[in-house]
Structure 1
């Protein structure tokens, strides 16, 4: 929207690279046929775009075989496939206390319906866990550890590689929720011992909504979340055994994936290192400005500590929803308020009673926009201080 300063990148990135929109329009106009369902030239071209997107995504995440990546509607879809497809009755699962509801709710569902045991590792107020606490939580029947790579409230970055080593030494698998890190932080599934990686297409990968995916270690066989047509092994009663078809029942979002392909290509060209460095610099700029306003508190890691581009804050006793409303209506600044689908993280941060205002920075955020947000918060604070 013209004139809006957008600080809700953690929910969906905006704006998108022009090539994303161009690719989606070209697909719609020229080859929006069913991929994998026909041998005519339009269907073949659609299939080719899907494979090209898998190939580029595999390169970004250090995946050897692109077919080990299955497309999903979003990270929530991918997490449900991973959790419900892997965890069995009697299993013990470990997760952290800053997980999104997309992790917590599927796990609590299995706890209530499938005799699954669940342990939450407590995070400190800045969102960090002590690895020794994780080590102590393992049991003989621990099958899975689920960890958010970066908190969607606090911006805290988890030591995924070290967690992966602990999982290996205890014979457990590691599922990473990369909702806030894919396209922003370096991810190497081999080097970090990641068995499953759930990621969105519409956030750091700069693609459209309705896209995402799940990397599945080739040594794992998940029970499919969905059953139906795949265009392969149609004579079989059960889902195909071949990947990625086994986990991709139904017509794929070809138009969206064509856009995602360009988003991933953009990230590969710019590099995640450059993207994170730019976002971190502006995150520090925003934090420093907000900390200079008396009565403003910031959640998560302190100034100077590594984190993703998420700055959640409160203004004294002001209601977070009211602050967000004023920023939107009076300053044309879009932020997110409330509980951010992660009450566990708010509990860890001590803000469960009132929530927080979340400002999240993206690759196309400008320094001028960051300064405008700081000045707007100063003005709002001055009104509350009267």
Structure 2
């Protein structure tokens, strides 16, 4: 990439960028004014830090339809939150239903518990475009099924799972529903109550427009998990065991006050703009990118067809060009940031038939311009003509 050339950032599925100015301002203000330990001291700065965290919880609860902000436990990221949910809920002998769209943040904890405790896991297959069949999900549930884990939107296909319909099934069958909202929080409307979600894992650094190192887990008030970590909480310090009170039970150690101050403003931005408006804009950019790419000879697009509802993820292959080479040239010669490889979802690539190659993933965001999409299409066309099957 040429020095000082502006970057065209199309890797928002990994981390959104840029952030709203208020996010940066809040983090700087927190570092200057409220960087003490929240919930640990009674002095003014510690109290101010605690208020920052509670305001963040309140905004998250409002966004996700949670009645009690204390039912939201902060985490480092979605992976951390998913591990808390999975390892905190499941016991030896339990059965879990998941899908072939799951990220390794779901699959690996499940497989680890399978080896360690002998839990049983059934993976329901999506079709080649990443679409799940509700009837197959229902049929996979059995008497000992404890949990159904599903990604709200695939980070490879951009397909959107019918979480509300799945929630109706799990409520009827007495199964807990864990939703991985890594690609949907802040982008798609989520109401944990009406959708029947018992556990919602979300990142702060993607659609919520906060910094890295932030995220969380909504835990249904009737559900108790074993803490993933034990340690200092600032409450019930005389007790040898982790306190039962929320959110302290799930938040051992000092919290990332500065990062969560930024997350608070990111969530506030999303609340003002609304997930519906954000999704509409991002989807239009996605459709324009798909329309342009599919005109290029040798291109194969993954996921739902053009015009179908999806999140802002466009994964593709170009005949004759390794995805990693495509991503490298886009970055170095055109200043366009995308991601290539397996995107931590090998089961998804098996489903797509791309397990041997991986794919290139471009993911527009709310701050992406139409001109960025035009530049991306032109760059891929130029590269495919120069390096593709007919150009080598």
Aligned to 2:353: 350
After superposition, give the CA deviation of every residue in 1:204-258 in whole Å (9 maximum; x if it has no partner).
Answer: 0000000000000000000000000000010111101000000000000000000
Report the Cα distance in structure 1 between the residues aligned to 2:139 and 2:385, rounded to whole angstroms. Answer: 48
Q: Verify: 1:54 aligned to 2:54, yes or no.
A: no
2:27 to 24, 47, 54: 24
**How does the TM-score come out when normalised to structure 1?**
0.99
Q: Verify: 1:155 aligned to 2:165, yes or no.
A: no
5+ unaligned residues in a row in structure 1: which ranges?
Answer: none
Aligned to 2:257: 254
Which secondary structure state, in structure 1, belongs to the residue aligned with residue 331 of structure 2? helix
Report the Cα distance in structure 2 between the residues aligned to 1:139 and 1:122, rounded to whole angstroms. Answer: 17
Aligned to 2:189: 186
**How does the TM-score come out when normalised to structure 2?**
0.98
2:222 to 192, 213, 219: 219
Aligned to 2:270: 267
Report the Cα distance in structure 2 between the residues aligned to 1:232 and 1:363, rounded to whole angstroms. Answer: 40
Larger displacement relative to structure 2 (82-91 or 126-135): 126-135
Instruction: For 1:160-239, list aligned pairs within 5 A.
Output: 160-239=163-242
After superposition, give the CA deviation of every residue in 1:265-319 in whole Å (9 maximum; x if it has no partner).
Answer: 0000000000000000000000000001111110000000000000000111310
Aligned to 1:284: 287
After superposition, give the CA deviation of every residue in 1:130-188 in whole Å (9 maximum; x if it has no partner).
Answer: 11111111111000000000000100000000001111111100000000000000000
Q: Verify: 1:363 aligned to 2:366, yes or no.
A: yes
Aligned to 2:147: 144
Report the Cα distance in structure 1 between the residues aligned to 2:74 and 2:61, rounded to whole angstroms. Answer: 12
Which secondary structure state, in structure 2, belongs to the residue aligned with residue 283 of structure 1? helix
Report the Cα distance in structure 2 between the residues aligned to 1:210 and 1:366, rounded to whole angstroms. Answer: 27
Report the Cα distance in structure 1 between the residues aligned to 2:164 and 2:285, rounded to whole angstroms. Answer: 26
Aligned to 2:66: 63
Shift of 1:2: 5.9
Which secondary structure state, in structure 2, belongs to the residue aligned with residue 285 of structure 1? helix
Report the Cα distance in structure 1 between the residues aligned to 2:231 and 2:34, rounded to whole angstroms. Answer: 23
Q: Verify: 1:377 aligned to 2:386, yes or no.
A: no
After superposition, give the CA deviation of every residue in 1:309-348 in whole Å (9 maximum; x if it has no partner).
Answer: 0000011131000000000000000000000000010010
5+ unaligned residues in a row in structure 2: which ranges?
Answer: none
Report the Cα distance in structure 2 between the residues aligned to 1:135 and 1:69, rounded to whole angstroms. Answer: 28
2:39 to 16, 36, 40: 36
Pairs aligned (count): 386
1:112 to 95, 110, 115: 115
Please tell me whether the aligned partners of residues 34 and 45 of structure 2 are also in contact (alpha carbons under 8 angstroms).
yes
Report the Cα distance in structure 2 between the residues aligned to 1:70 and 1:232, rounded to whole angstroms. Answer: 15
1:130 to 123, 129, 133: 133
Please tell me whether the aligned partners of residues 23 and 210 of structure 2 are also in contact (alpha carbons under 8 angstroms).
yes
Larger displacement relative to structure 2 (311-320 or 213-222): 311-320
Report the Cα distance in structure 2 between the residues aligned to 1:211 and 1:137, rounded to whole angstroms. Answer: 34
Instruction: For 1:91-102, list aligned pairs within 5 A.
Output: 91-102=94-105
Please tell me whether the aligned partners of residues 5 and 335 of structure 2 are also in contact (alpha carbons under 8 angstroms).
no
Which secondary structure state, in structure 2, belongs to the residue aligned with residue 133 of structure 1? helix
Q: Verify: 1:79 aligned to 2:67, yes or no.
A: no
Q: Verify: 1:317 aligned to 2:317, yes or no.
A: no
Report the Cα distance in structure 2 between the residues aligned to 1:316 and 1:13, rounded to whole angstroms. Answer: 29
